[in-house]
Structure formats: C-alpha cells, structure tokens
Chain A
Amino acid sequence: MKLLIRGGRVIDPENNIDGILDVLIENNKIKAIGRDIPVNGLRDIINAEGKIVSPGFIDIHVHLRDPGYEYKEDIITGSKSAAAGGFTTICCMPNTDPVIHDGVVAKYVLNRSREVGLVDILPIGSITRNLEGEELSEMAELAEAGCVAFSDDGNPVMRSDVMRHALDYVRMLNLPIFSHCEDLNLSRNGLVHEGYYSTLYGLQGIPAQAEDVMVARDVGLATLTGARLHVCHISTIGSLQIIKEAKTAGAHVTCEVTPHHLTLTGEIVGDYDPDTKVNPPLRTEAHVKALVDALNKGIIDCIATDHAPHNIECKDCEYSEASTGISGLETAVPVIMDKLVNVGLLSITDMIRLFTVGPCRVLGIDPVRLSPGYTADITIIDPNEVRRVNPATFYSKGKNTPFKGMELRGWPWMTIKGGRIIAREGHLVQSMSLGSQ
C-alpha cells in the first residue's frame, strides 16, 4: 500500500527542509522524500500543490473528559476532533473521574484510544491523588502504564512542599511535571483578568501575578530539584520573564501557550458570554504582544490548545456560574494561521515547529520528522482556505468557543496517521468502525 503526496511545500523543521517536494508513504512509514518521485504504478496520489505538508501536529494539552464526564467529551469524539483539527498525537489531562492517578485508569485511556484508533493519545497522570494536592499519586506505576508526564491541571498544587517532593520524585522517572500555575489565594472569586476591563465590566479580577508568583515558585523548585518542569498555558509578561531567566540559567523548564491567549484579550468579555471564560483569563494587548514576541524568540516551546470541552448547560448560564475553558482542537490551526501567520507575526516554519518539534522536546521524545523509516504522521494545511468557525459542525462535543462566527483563512486540509488518511478538509475519512459515535 503506497501513497504519494505530490507537489506540496514540505516543511520539516527537524530536517531543515522547506521546499516543493513529494513524499512517498509505504505502508505506515515514510518511504522517500524528494523531487519528482516517479508515479508509475501508484494508484493513490494526492495532489498537494499550494498546500503545506508537515510532520503530524501534536497537542500536549487536551481534556478528553473520559472516563467520567463523557457528556462533555469522550475518547471517540476527542479523537475525531483532534483528527479534524490536524493533530495526529495528543496528550490528555488526568482530571477525569476517576482521576488518572493509577495505572488502571491510564491503561483504560490507552486501550480505549487504541480501540478508536484514530490518533495517538498519550495520557498524563496526576501529580497527587484525586488532584487534592496532598499525597503523591503512584507515579512510577503511572509511568509504567504509559503516562508521559504528570499534572494536576485545573488544580494548582498549592502546597509548596508537595510540589517540591513531586519534582524530586519524577526526576528518577525522567518525566516532566506539567504545572498549572495559579495562586488560588490571589485568584479567588476572580472571573476575568484584573485591569481596565474587569473594572469596566464589573467582574471580579484575577491579577496576572496570580500566575507569576506560582511560575516563580515552580521554577525555583525545578532549580532546587533538577527536575523537568513544563509550565502550562502561560499568559503573562511576568511568567515569560521568569521562564526566560530560568532557561538562560540552565533550568529544565519549558512552557506552552494557547491559541486564545495569543490572539484574544479580555475586551471581548463585555457581553458576558461564558464562552470567553477561561483559566487563565484572557489578558491584555500588552500580554498578547509579549507572548507573540516570545514565540518568535524561542522562549515558548510549543503551542497547545488546552482543549476544554463542556456540555451546553455549563456554558449557557450566568458568567460567574459557567465552567471555564475553550474547545480548541478544531480551531487551533486556523486561528494561528489567520491571526499570526497570515499577518506576518509568525513564520509558517515557526508555527510548524511549535506544533511538532516543540511538543516533542517538552515530552523528551524523538522529534517527529519526515525521514524515511519514520511513522507517516502528516498534517497538510491549505493556507488559502477561508471558512467560518461553526461550532455546530465540530466533532467535539464541546461547542464552547469565543472564535465562533469568525472567518479564518488557513485550515488543516488533510491529516494522515500512520500512512492512513484520517481527515480531509475538516471531515473525518471513515474507513473503520468507531462504535456508536
């Protein structure tokens, strides 16, 4: 079984490739990459002229809600959403019910994702039992079961001693801690970023420093322990400064940023639409500019969606009562393409690096690339496709997005997983049974 992707602009950051090239896939692997690969005898040829061909995109921060909250998302719909959004690998957060705090739950997620068989799903185990921030989870068992990192995402580990011991413990497993940095004492009752717009709209604010002080604490603890720390969804100038300094000093610190924190500000909260409610909150123009600048300077390692799907009841209510989070898998690529790449704020090569090599570096795994012998995970983007964001058409159960109704240019055109086309032009390519969904 062979598949030829012809004439696309191939960008492979790890191999320093950027050119009009063909990619030949045989079975589930890359067979060859080069100019004018002969087509004789090939039945499956994809004309990728005008498209951008990249190694498969990776999203290291996804909430799949399964097990326990399948009314928000499950492993089937989450997998489909990832595939349609251009991702071939995702990492899922442990704030499920039960929490991914032991090997049994981790194995369930892995087994279920293999049954679904669309994208690779790498589970993240919890740092503490039940995300309570008190006792460590059985992290060696979680690692053995296949967890690639540890996080209490959504719940910051408030006790500094617990965080210190967690970092010390994971050092021997050589896996990173993904920290949700938020000082709950500073953010208490807060709904939006504290500043002009919280005052204008009469909503309780969360100061940027609620994030900064915890980033500073965790960076300090990472330095103390020598462990690998990854800071989730950074959103502030202060966090960037601390992380930049830590990297310069040689600490094992990485960080991610979400598409919404790169492109939206708290100004859009003015109609009290709960789809704009997210944690950390949407900040200001100055923070957004600093984040984009840091992307270009290499201070930020990767873009991750923090895909947080919610059922409609959790978002169709009063602002203060609404759940936080944005359904992000199916808008990440077009948002970054339209708001950053197409307007010259980020190069296409850097964008691809931030969705491919960057996440691998955070995880400490062999970077994805289009070299012969590597698994044929490929994301193809149509930089000229213009479409309006319509949450009703999302594969995700979460229709909660502040990008709804926006017309965006530059969408995923094809997702290839292990040599198999799994999505095309935003639609799943159904070649296997996926159960009841």
Chain B
Amino acid sequence: MGLFKRKDLLGLRNVEKEEIKTLLETAVPMRDIITRAIKKVPALKGKAIVNVFYENSTRTSTSFELAGKYLSADTINLSVSRSSVQKGESLKDTIKTIEMMGADILVMRHPSSGAPHYVARNTSARVINAGDGINEHPTQALLDMYSILRHKGTLEGLKIAIVGDILHSRVARSNIFGLSKFGCELRVIGPSTLIPSNIEKLGVKVYSNLESGLRDVDIINVLRIQKERQQGVLFPSVDEYQELYMVTPRHLDLAADDAIVLHPGPMNRGIEISTELAESPRCLVNEQVTNGVAVRMAILYLMLGGGKDEITY
C-alpha cells in the first residue's frame, strides 16, 4: 500500500481536497525528474502497470507508459480492439487475466461510464481511470490543475471557464469536481444543446455566449469538439460552431490580464481554438503534456511507492 490511501483513482467526485493537494505536491519533484538528463528513478522497480485501453488514445496511454517507465516500473499497453470484445470475453475476465499475470495497477480507458468502478470491484489490482464514457477523466483534470497551479501559484478562488461540448466531456466533469473543492468560480460555455441537465447544481454558471462567459476569467479551458457528435442535431454545423465558440487572441482581451489557456488535446485548429491562440505563449497545450506525465508519475508513485527519499536522492 502506497501513500495514496484509497485503492483506486476512479474520479475526482469522491476524492478529498487534501488528497488532491498531496497529488499535486508530489507532481513537483516528478516533473523535475522528467527534465533531468537521465530520466529514471528506481522508485517503482519491480512493479507492473498495465494500460488497458478500450478506446483509441495515443496521448494518454503514452503518458502513462512513460510515467511508469521513468519510475522504473514495467509498463505495457494493451489495446483491446472491438474485435476481441466481439469474441465474447467479458470485461471481468479480461481484467482478471491481467491481474493474474501480476499487474499492480490497471490504467483503464473505456467507452462506458462507470466501467472502471465495475472493474475496481472485481480486481485486487489498483485501478486508475484514464477516461470512462462521458463520466470522468481524473488524471486530465489533475494535470490541468497542476498546470494552473504552476502559473497562478494557487487554485483558490480562481475564475475558470470551460468551453465546448460539456455534455459529453469527461474532462469538463472531472475539472468541475476537482476545482470546485478549491472554491473556484466555475463557468461552462457552450451551445445549449451541449450543456447537461441541472449542471448548475454542481456549482457552475452556464453561458451560451462566449464573450460574456470569458469576461474576467483567469483560466480558459478549451475542449476538443468531437465532430462526429454533430450529426446535424446537436449543433447545425462545424462552421456555425466555429463562428460562435472558437477561442481566439481577441477573447483573451476579455479575460483577466494574465489569463492562460488550456486544451486537453488533440486540438482542432481553426474550429475550437484559432492557430494564433494555440501558438501563443499564453496557451499551455504543450506544457500540459509534460505536466501530464508528472501528475501520472505522482499518482503511480503514491499508489505503489515507498517513502519520499526514494525520489529525492
């Protein structure tokens, strides 16, 4: 048992503020390791981490894989294609098989909300949710929080806007759950078809107008628009979406003076974010990738590692 007391990291909904702080603090020395000439510490030597991805993702699975490797764990990626699911093996059996091979941690992405919770109930390995359906993506939210913390020095009381398809966004949901524990003023901005029912009850303000939603915010978190969601029903066209919701340098003028822009990637340049903004120093999209590795090292370490000294020599 590591320093992270709960067995699994399934989402930020039920995680305490103090646990998040510990994770974010631990990410600081982890980030330091990534910038060294020799990016490896023996903290998790002899531990096995398996990434089980039921949805395509290069970014998140690579990030977890490198995070494990920098800590000397043995990591492997298992992409479970649709075809092998169709062969009929249940999720429970697949997970049990991986557990019995000796996995200490399962990092799982799955298109069904709650699938990691189901898996966690059925395995003694520790489970990290790397995105489940439209529910949560806790490590993405943690890396967003870490990036904000690095630039703002604090999370407390910031004004944060999340722009895009809130309804289908696990990134938005985890950010809302995480940041609301730090007293942030949270806003969601998007077409009214993509705002989930009763979201105000999660303590967020809803805007459908980009300009008014961005006024005075410290952080703009721009979500990737899933073009396949459109289908002519949820929003009329990509053109109209871009017209109404593409964030550009002009919008930064509405925000607070030193506002920063986040994007979970991969970006649709010219749709939800303009190229000019994507390449501006105010946009942290590339730094977020590095921070993502650091945050994932932190969670892996806290779940499996020993004392603090193992990473600071």
Listed in ascending order, the chain A residues whose CB lies under 8 Å from chain B are 191, 194-196, 198-205, 207, 271-272, 313, 316-321
Q: Which of B23-31, B96-104, B127-135, B243-251 contacts A (4 or more CB under 8 A)?
A: B127-135
Choice from B91, B134, B199 contacting A204 with Cβ under 8 Å:
B134
Question: What is the interface size of chain B, counting residues whose CB is below 8 A from a CB of the partner?
Answer: 25
A202 in contact with B92 given A196-B201, A319-B112 (CB within 8 Å): no
Q: Which of B113-121, B211-219, B261-269, B301-309 contacts A (4 or more CB under 8 A)?
A: B113-121
12 interchain pairs, CB-CB under 8 A: A195-B198, A196-B197, A199-B196, A199-B199, A202-B114, A272-B113, A313-B90, A317-B90, A318-B114, A318-B115, A319-B112, A320-B111
Q: Is the CB of A318 within 8 A of B118?
A: yes
A198 in contact with B197 given A318-B114, A319-B118 (CB within 8 Å): yes
**Max chain A C-beta neighbours (<10 A), residue from B91, B114, B134:** B114
Report the Cα distance A318→B120, complex, angstroms. Answer: 12
Cβ of B136 under 8 Å from chain A: yes
User: Which A residues lie within 8 Å of B110 (CB)?
Assistant: 318
Listed in ascending order, the chain B residues whose CB lies under 8 Å from chain A are 13, 90-92, 110-115, 117-118, 132-136, 170, 173, 196-199, 201-202
Choice from A272, A313, A316 contacting B114 with Cβ under 8 Å:
A272
Choice from A205, A318, A320 contacting B197 with Cβ under 8 Å:
A205
User: Which A residues lie within 8 Å of B201 (CB)?
Assistant: 196, 199-200
User: Which B residues lie within 8 Å of A272 (CB)?
Assistant: 113-115, 117-118
Kindly list 9 other residue pairs between chains A and B, CB separation below 8 angstroms, not including A196-B201, A199-B199, A203-B133: A196-B198, A201-B114, A202-B113, A202-B133, A272-B113, A318-B91, A318-B112, A319-B112, A319-B114
User: Which A residues lie within 8 Å of B132 (CB)?
Assistant: 202
Report the Cα distance A66→B92, complex, angstroms. Answer: 28
How near does chain A come to B283, taking the closest CB pair, in angstroms?
27
How near does chain B come to A270, taking the closest CB pair, in angstroms?
9
Return the chain B residue nearest A319 by Cβ: B114
User: Which A residues lie within 8 Å of B117 (CB)?
Assistant: 271-272
Choice from B13, B91, B111, B135 contacting A203 with Cβ under 8 Å:
B135
Q: Is the CB of B170 within 8 A of A202?
A: yes
Q: Is the CB of B198 within 8 A of A199?
A: yes
User: Which B residues lie within 8 Å of A317 (CB)?
Assistant: 90-92, 118
User: Which B residues lie within 8 Å of A191 (CB)?
Assistant: 113
Report the Cα distance A315→B173, complex, angstroms. Answer: 26
Q: Is the CB of A202 within 8 A of B134?
A: yes
User: Which B residues lie within 8 Å of A202 (CB)?
Assistant: 113-114, 132-136, 170, 173
Q: Is the CB of B114 within 8 A of A195?
A: no
User: Which A residues lie within 8 Å of B198 (CB)?
Assistant: 195-196, 199
How near does chain B come to A381, taking the closest CB pair, in angstroms?
36
Return the chain B residue nearest A194 by Cβ: B197
How near does chain A come to B83, taking the closest CB pair, in angstroms?
16
User: Which A residues lie within 8 Å of B90 (CB)?
Assistant: 313, 316-317
How near does chain B come to A248, taking the closest CB pair, in angstroms?
31
Report the Cα distance A196→B196, complex, angstroms. Answer: 9
Report the Cα distance A89→B111, complex, angstroms. Answer: 43
Return the chain B residue nearest A320 by Cβ: B112
Return the chain A residue nearest B122 by Cβ: A316
A203 in contact with B114 given A316-B92, A317-B91, A320-B133 (CB within 8 Å): yes
Return the chain A residue nearest B54 by Cβ: A318
How near does chain A come to B11, taking the closest CB pair, in angstroms?
8
How near does chain A come to B98, taking the closest CB pair, in angstroms?
16
User: Which B residues lie within 8 Å of A207 (CB)?
Assistant: 197
User: Which B residues lie within 8 Å of A204 (CB)?
Assistant: 113, 134
Q: Is the CB of A199 within 8 A of B197?
A: yes
Choice from B135, B173, B197 contacting A195 with Cβ under 8 Å:
B197
Report the Cα distance A207→B173, complex, angstroms. Answer: 20
